[in-house]
Chains A and B, each alone.
Chain A
Amino acid sequence: MSELKEELKAKIIEQLNLEDIVVADIADDDALFGDGLGLDSIDALELIVMLDKDYGIRLSDPKEGRKIFESVQVMADYIQEHRTK
């Protein structure tokens, strides 16, 4: 689980090109949107594609992302439960 969380943090930084942020800067419970990392709706779409491509999780309703992308911890829990690859 801890490995998955580190992997997710690295992917978020790389995929969303978060300049000046390293894995250690993101706590497991940090909010990804809003006051936390400050991600926006375009980032949410990028994360939806990442879930599909890397973990075989296809979100049929983009609104689901709001809950799943709350924090790295929540994302990791969801991936652990639903991943197909």
Chain B
Amino acid sequence: MKKVYINSIASISPQKTFDNTIFLNEIIDYNDTVIFAQDPDYKQYIPPAAARRMAKGIKMGVVASKIAMDEAGIETVDAIITGTGMGCMIDSEKFVSAIIDNSEQYLTPTSFIQSTHNTVAGQIALGMECKAYNFTYVHSAISFESALLDAKMQLENEEAQHILVGGVEELGEHTTKVHRLINHIKPEAVTISEVLDSKTEGAVFSEGTNFFVVSNEKTNSCYAELVAVETFNTLQKEKVSEAIETFLKENNLKAADIDVVVFGNNGDVDFDGFYNQLSEGIFSKTQQVFYKHLVGENNTVSAFGVWLASKILKAQSIPEIVKINNVNSSKIKTVLCYNQYRGQNHSLVLLKK
């Protein structure tokens, strides 16, 4: 089986992460319960005629894919695989609202066409005239990992050489209201420094996209080797440590071999215990980092965790703003990302330098 490498990355998030030459140098502080992605100059990447039909999620996905492709130095790929938990919410809401407002009449085609979950992957393929495998995984908080796993297996088995894989989520006004109503969004605004200790239920909701070119050949732009990906729909809290140790053992590692662990804490008092038991348990002597205080929570934000892990491995440095604790590690060789959302859909992604 071939090894799999992350040869390029791209991120559009509530922080200014779309420029790959910088690494969380300038942090935008928020004091809110919902935070939006920082917009790159979309016009630089998408012709106006195409952009006018694209909602924010599609624009973000198309631009991030172009940044990743540019960095990888390739024109096309053997597959485009995306993950999204909620899909194109803005156009979905627009279309459904039109159905209700106009008593199921006068339905226009644009928002309907643009509202499918596969719209982002489809638009990327149209843009690069790529007729290869095109697939979107819709599986809540493991949508991105499902896409990544598919890509990894295809590359290992040499069914493909280069694959563009990413996760994308956009905020829709109505859906956000619904999430607020069911207390999935924090009741009070919090700043980035308060998120972890907010002691309230819910998360700061957000949007964004992260794309990667993964290949079975290492290039000069390579960030990391993608060693293993595993997902769990359900996993009891008391079984998490054991599941991680089993996962590491399958990859000939122990918890002590992990140089950095990337946690998906979002400050939800009801569910951060999944991470805290690891911080105080099997990873108590490991450098721990987190990122959702900077970029919020959404169904594919764990892809930002993989972005962060990739950056850390390549830069061999960890921005202070993401550190949970301080453990000196002279060389960062192995990074593990662990994420779950509301106690379900757990994922483990193992990267090596």
Contact = CB atoms under 8 A, between A and B. Distances in A.
B252 interface: no
A52 interface: yes
Contact of A42 (B48, B102, B107, B110): B110
B142 to A, nearest CB: 34
Nearest to A43: B110
Interface stretch (B49-57, B219-227, B297-305): B49-57
Contacts of A52: 105-106
Interface in A32-85: 38, 42, 45-46, 49, 52-53
Contacts of B236: none
B48 A19 contact: yes
A38 B49 contact: yes
A61 B191 CA distance: 57
A20 B102 contact: no
A54 to B, nearest CB: 9
A53 B101 CA distance: 12
A18 interface: yes
B108 interface: yes
Given A17-B53, A53-B102, A45 B48 contact: no
A19 B109 contact: no
A19 B234 CA distance: 46
17 contacts: A17-B52, A18-B52, A19-B48, A19-B51, A19-B52, A38-B49, A42-B53, A42-B110, A45-B108, A45-B109, A46-B108, A49-B106, A49-B107, A49-B108, A52-B105, A52-B106, A53-B106
Interface of A: 15-20, 38, 42, 45-46, 49, 52-53
